[in-house]
Amino acid sequence: MPEGDTVFRAARLLDRSLTGDRLVAADLRVPQHATVDLVGATVVGTASRGKHLLTRVDADGERLTLHTHLKMEGAWRVLRPGGRWPRPARQARVVLTTARRQAVGFSLGVVELLPTADEDDVVGHLGPDLLGPGWDPEEALRRLRADPDRPLVEALLDQRNLAGIGNMYAAELCFLTGVHPRTPVGEVDALPRLVARAAQVLRVNSDRPVQATTGDLREPHWVYRRDRRPCRRCAAPVAVDMTGPAGRERATYWCPRCQPDRPGAAQGV
C-alpha cells in the first residue's frame, strides 16, 4: 500500500495540473456514480489527508469532493488529452479532462463523491497528518500511548493514531529507533524521537520519487524487503514475519541484533 508521501505527491500533481480549470469531460467508472455529470465544474484543488485524496470541485455553486484512495494497486496519471494511457483502459476508474490535461485514476480502491462539507465523514477518523499543515506531534504521541500494550508496528500502521505511515516506514522507523517492531508501545522510551523522525523522513521524501531512509538513494532501505539479507549496519540476517490482527497480517522486517526482542533492550541508536 502506498505511503503517505506517495499520496502527497499525487495530490500535488493533481493540484498543479487541474486546479482552476473547468472539466470538459468527467467519467466516474463506479456503479454508484456512473450517471454523475461533472462537465462544466471548476476544479478548486486537490489535497491529501494521510493516504486519502480529496479533489474538490465547484459545480454551479455546489462544492463537491471526489474522495479517492489508492489502496494496494491504485495510481493517478496526468497526460495531455488524447495521450496514450500507461495502463489498460479497463483499469481506469476515474477520468477527469480539462482543455489542458487529462487525469486518470487507475485501479483506485475507493471512489466516492460527496459534499465538501461532509469530508469529515471519510477522513475525520484519521490521526494527525504527518505531511499536513496542522501536524501535531503531541496529539500523535497521545494517541499512540492510549494503548500501551499494543505492538509498536501495529500502532504505527493504525491511521487513527497518525496518518501517513505504511508498511515500509513502519519497519524502517522501528529499525532507526533500535526497537523490535513487536515491542509494546508503553515500553518504547524513544517514542517522541520516533515520531519526530517519521515527520522528518516523510517530509524529505515528499520532494523526491525515491523513498530513502538510509541517506543513499542507491540503497534506500535498512531492513524493508531485505529478508535474510545482511543488515546494513551489523551484517546479521534481516528477519521477516507476518504480524498484525488476523486477516490483516503484514510482512514485518527487523534486524535481530540491532533490534533485540527482549525486555530492557536499548531503545535508541
CATH number at residue 218: 1.10.8.50
132: nearest Cα among 98, 159, 103, 104: 159
Q: Is 2 a catalytic residue?
A: yes
- Picking from 100, 123, 146, the residue at the C-terminal end of a domain is 123
Q: Which listed residue (9, 51, 93, 226) is catalytic?
A: 51
Write the CA distances from 173 to 43, 122, 133, 166, 222, integer angstroms: 37, 27, 22, 11, 10
Q: What is the pLDDT of residue 162?
A: 97
- Residue 3 phi, psi dihedral angles, 5° rounding: -85, 170
Residue 220 lies in a domain: yes
* Rounded Cα gap, residues 101 and 187, in angstroms: 51
Q: What is the pLDDT of residue 231?
A: 94
Residue 55 lies in a domain: yes
Q: What is the pLDDT of residue 246?
A: 77
Q: Which listed residue (197, 250, 256, 257) is catalytic?
A: 250
Residues 117 and 144 reside in one and the same domain: no
* Rounded Cα gap, residues 252 and 156, in angstroms: 12
- Picking from 55, 88, 123, the residue at the C-terminal end of a domain is 123
Residues 247 and 148 reside in one and the same domain: yes
Q: Is 182 a catalytic residue?
A: no
Q: Is 51 a catalytic residue?
A: yes
- CB distance 155 to 141 below 8 Å: no
Q: Is 193 a catalytic residue?
A: no
Q: What is the pLDDT of residue 264?
A: 43
Per-residue confidence in pLDDT tens, the chain, 269 aa = 689 999 999 999 999 999 999 999 999 999 999 999 999 999 999 999 999 999 999 999 999 999 999 998 999 999 999 999 999 999 999 999 999 999 999 999 999 999 999 999 999 999 999 999 999 999 999 999 999 999 999 999 999 999 999 999 999 999 999 999 999 999 999 999 999 999 999 999 999 888 999 999 999 999 999 998 999 999 999 999 987 777 778 899 999 999 998 554 443 33
Please give the residue range of the domain that contains residue 206.
137-254
Residue 93 lies in a domain: yes
Burial of 32 (0-12, 13-18, 19+ CB in 10 A): exposed
Domain total in the chain = 2
- Residue 35 phi, psi dihedral angles, 5° rounding: -100, 0
Q: What is the pLDDT of residue 262?
A: 58
Query: In sequence order, which residues have a C-beta less than 8 Å from that of residue 48 and are 6 or more positions away?
Result: 4, 7, 8, 10, 11, 54, 129, 131, 132
* Per-position DSSP letters for 7-69, written without gaps between them: HHHHHHHHHHHHTTPBPSEEEE-SGGGTT---TTPEEEEEEEETTEEEEEEEETTEEEEEEEE
